[in-house]
Amino acid sequence: MTNSRIAAVDVGNDALKALFGKLDSELYIPNVIARDIEDRPVIGIEELDEKDPVDNLHIRVHSPALKDNNAIYRVGNLATKGSNPTELDPGSSKSEEDQTLVMLFASLALDAVSREDGSQKHHGNNRNVVEANYTLGTGLPLREVKEGKDVGYRSQLLGSVHQVEFLVTPRYQGMKVNIKFDEVKVYPEGFAAFVNLVMDNDLNVINKDLIDKQILIQDIGGLSTDIAVIRNRNVDDDKAQGFNLGVAESLEAIRDEIRTKHGVELDSRRDVVDIITRKNDRHHIMVKGSRTSVHDITDRILLELAKKQYRYLRNVWQRNSQSEICYFVGGGSAVLKEYLKSLNNSLDGFNIEFFEDENESIWMMANAYYKLVSDFVRKTNKDKKQEKQKQEATSAK
């Protein structure tokens, strides 16, 4: 365990967020992939190595966990530039999609090849093969954990070698990474959000006001919404609710309507999120070189989604009437924040809270997984040390 590198990876529907080691490295990669060929054309190939590998991820992935094994992908920003980008579909299960695993393996492989501390183990005399061992902390929506899908997801990762080969990728072209997992911890996303709210990196309580309250956490993602009911410092499995509705369908609807009305083709749902959330020129696009408002489209579609999300909150709160506060988390909450606040002010007036720092909300799950898996590693190493001391004491007798 001591030679195993910690990885805390949140494969969000919008983007992957990952933290590694002793918080010495982090990655943010849009959750978009596209099937590709081995020799993708590159303009100015002699300048390839001057580009950012994260923006030019071109890989082959070999893993027994994949339905489509040995396939070649563009990943992240590079995938959005192609003609066939794939984002997770509404109604799909994160734990059963190849895309989730491709994103996970790509992030770990990037971390492995980018490390400069000399701790990589190379295979024999082949300096192009990196052996990488990880202790992984990750998560799944509450709905999938309640259905027991976390068990299958974990078993797919453990006990196998997963290989990522970098193809036409800056600096790492021709390198291969063999990924092995020493341990995989899969946490329910709602509980992870609670941990991040009340505890620091050493799992010391930093928010005593919340620790023994009954609270709700509504996590609005791209494909689903989870509402966790936290009481006695644990998720109440019977009360927790999962819904197959996130912001993805609404983002696609906005994208389609912009295409129909203005003839503008947006590359992906991420472009729509940028139009909605950016600080300057929010709700505006360029049409034939002219700055054009699409506020009528975004406002109508997002308000309808906010009304549905608010109904979820109302129904869960009615069944858990002693709840004291609801925290909205996840990328979808950042998109819907103003609409939900307005609805709440004019309707029930629940005690709800958002994270004003959008970056904190975006990285909340990855931070929580890091806290939880780091604590697991500390306890495991402590137990091993105590066991070794016992054995040495016994031998001395």
pLDDT tens column, 251-295: 999 999 999 999 998 888 888 988 988 888 889 999 999 999 999
Split at pLDDT 50, 70, 90, the class of 363 is confident
Q: Is the pLDDT of residue 43 over 60?
A: no
With a CB cutoff of 8 Å and minimum separation 6, the contacts of 383 are none
What pLDDT, in 10s, does the model give residues 109-135? 999 999 843 444 444 445 689 999 999
pLDDT of residue 207: 79
Q: Are 235 and 229 in contact (CB under 8 A)?
A: yes
Task: Count other C-beta atoms under 10 Å from residue 341's C-beta.
Answer: 14
Q: Is the pLDDT of residue 41 over 90?
A: no
Give the mean model confidence (pLDDT) for residues 186-192: 82
pLDDT of residue 311: 96
Residue (of 74, 96, 72) closest to 86 by Cα position: 74
Higher-pLDDT residue of 385, 396? 385
pLDDT of residue 245: 87
Higher-pLDDT residue of 117, 50? 50
Pairwise CA distance, residues 220 & 392, whole Å: 52
Q: What is the mean pLDDT of the chain?
A: 87
Pairwise CA distance, residues 51 & 120, whole Å: 23
3-state secondary structure of 62: strand
What pLDDT, in 10s, does the model give residues 305-319? 999 999 999 999 999
Domain boundaries, the chain: 5-188
Full-model pTM? 0.85
pLDDT of residue 233: 74
Q: Which range, of 44-48, 66-70, 128-132, 370-374, averages the lowest pLDDT?
A: 44-48
Q: What percent of the chain has pLDDT over 90?
A: 52
With a CB cutoff of 8 Å and minimum separation 6, the contacts of 143 are 224, 226, 242, 243, 244
Q: First-to-last CA distance in the chain?
A: 29
What pLDDT, in 10s, does the model give residues 5-40? 999 999 988 889 999 999 999 999 999 999 988 777
pLDDT of residue 45: 52
pLDDT of residue 44: 55
pLDDT of residue 134: 97
pLDDT of residue 264: 92
Q: Is the pLDDT of residue 46 over 80?
A: no
Split at pLDDT 50, 70, 90, the class of 397 is low
Q: Domain 5-188 carries which CATH code?
A: 3.30.420.40
Q: What is the DSSP letter of 204?
A: -
Higher-pLDDT residue of 251, 46? 251
Best-predicted range by mean pLDDT (119-123, 154-158, 227-231, 393-397): 154-158
